[in-house]
Amino acid sequence: MAARNEVTPLPNLPNYVFGEKLGAGSYGTVYKAKLIATSQARVNSVACARTNFYAIKCINRKSLTKSTEDLLINEIKLLKLIKHENIVEMYDFQWDENYIYIVMEYCAGGDMSMFIRSRRQLSEARARPFVQQIARVLKFLYEKRISHMDLKPENILLTSIDRPVLKVADFGVAQHIGKRGSRSIRGTLLYMAPEILSSIPYDNRVDLWSIGIILYECLFGRPPFVFSCVDELVEEIKSNIPIDIPNDARISSECRNLLEGLLQRDPNRRISFRDFFRHPFIFVDLSSQIVRADDLFHRSIKAEQSGDIKKALEYRVRALDEYVAIIKVDEDHDRKRILRARVKEGLIAAESLKKRLLTKIRNTGSVPTTSSSSTENLNLNDNKELSAAYQHCLNGNQFMNASRFTQACDEYQIGLTVMLRAARTETDPVKSNILHNMISFYLNKAELCKNKNEAQQLEIDMENIKDDSALDSTMLNESNTDTEKKQRANGQQNCRLQ
């Protein structure tokens, strides 16, 4: 009887005074807290941060299930790795016998959902900076191959009401989505992309859909679905009917164009990340973009000087991608001419780096041979799991021979995971030796495959840059610069004649 009536103590973290409850999630309650500066405060705590107020998520350890524990570990792991001006910062995490405490940045302006409700709906001019800040976070995550999976107004916090800076929060269901895609159902239904509810794998384009729903809600004060129950909402999301954007909406053509691109139910017709980040509704700060591109360009030079050809090519391609994006929207003709020349020279340098990288991969790509008959002593027919793992590695060989390196890497990873697990438990010394030889052989194959896959992806990125730059008729041809000057001169002369 005593156990049933046992009351869990309230959260209590040394050096902090807990105040109002800010909110409650699926596995934790967030409180506003004030840091009490003491000589006993931990050296690596938040004592040296800029403010005395923090948001502390308190998770009752007794209420944790296996799934919520995985979400918690995932969130802590990600927040330790990602630092961005528009992502809520985690300063520290601690625990006692009752709670796990995550000490985070406090945002005094509440969340975006409250902000929208207080104003019923936002003008395009008001919504645009919000979406631009979310886009900066998405670009940061995209470059790290992380999908947030739960973008919604409640997970977007504001530093203040009058001059709000957005902070994306709650990375509990965020994940790395590999080339094979994901099938797990994650996120909040109202902001969930249609493909998540299908039976086919999806990729990180689901975040683009969520941003589309958020932008729609900002502009019209409500999400684009009308429903009275969960089943109706599911049917609305899975419907093939295009999302209706009111014809009389007071929004610009570029805003409407972005909304239509984001809210395509078919992910293959949805706006791409590349075009989203470059969209005129999003892309405005050319000065910081140029600084970033120049920095990548200089990093490429330093990496080449140090002998890291792959990193040099990676930085060079990213710099070129930024320059091409700037050229598309820049109205400064002189700067565009300089950047065009830089892109042309950069593509030539990138081609040279690519050839050197491929030569290096070929020279270091020899894999030690192993006897195919050595697998016979493992009795693969009697071990279905190990037999399937071996077959995955053989599939990897076939994919690599066909230059399908992404699929090959996936197959090697699956096979090696099982083999490594089997090697840890194998007691027969002969079989153990054979297993270790096989693992060594396929690890070398997998490493070679990874290098080739990265080189192939960089080559694809270079081709995309060439395709983009080909749209600008002056970019790849020096003589076109002179042509442009002549056209301007002729235009001025015609004006004078008229």
151 within 8 A of 209, measured Cβ to Cβ = no
> For residue 86, what are the contacts with CB-CB under 8 A and spacing of at least 6?
133, 134, 136, 137, 140, 165, 166, 167, 168
Q: Which residue has the tokens 């710099």?
A: 319
Q: Please say if 334 is a catalytic residue.
A: no
Active-site residue identified among 70, 92, 111, 150? 150
**CB count, 10 Å around CB of 491?**
10
DSSP type of residue 364:
T
Task: Please give the structure tokens belonging to residue 278.
Answer: 């470059």
CA distance 324 to 328: 6
CA distance 171 to 196: 18
Q: Are strands 53-60 and 99-105 parallel, antiparallel or unpaired?
A: antiparallel
Task: Please give the structure tokens belonging to residue 358.
Answer: 């491929």
CA-wise closest residue to 175 among 83, 273, 75, 86:
75
Q: What is the DSSP string of 138-179?
A: HHHHHHTTEE-S---GGGEEES-SSS--EEE---TT-EE--T
167 within 8 A of 159, measured Cβ to Cβ = yes
Give the length of the chain: 498
Opening angle at CA 397, ends 394 and 402, nearest 5: 135
Q: Which residue has the tokens 């979406």?
A: 131
CA distance 435 to 380: 11
Give catalytic residues, as residue numbers.
150
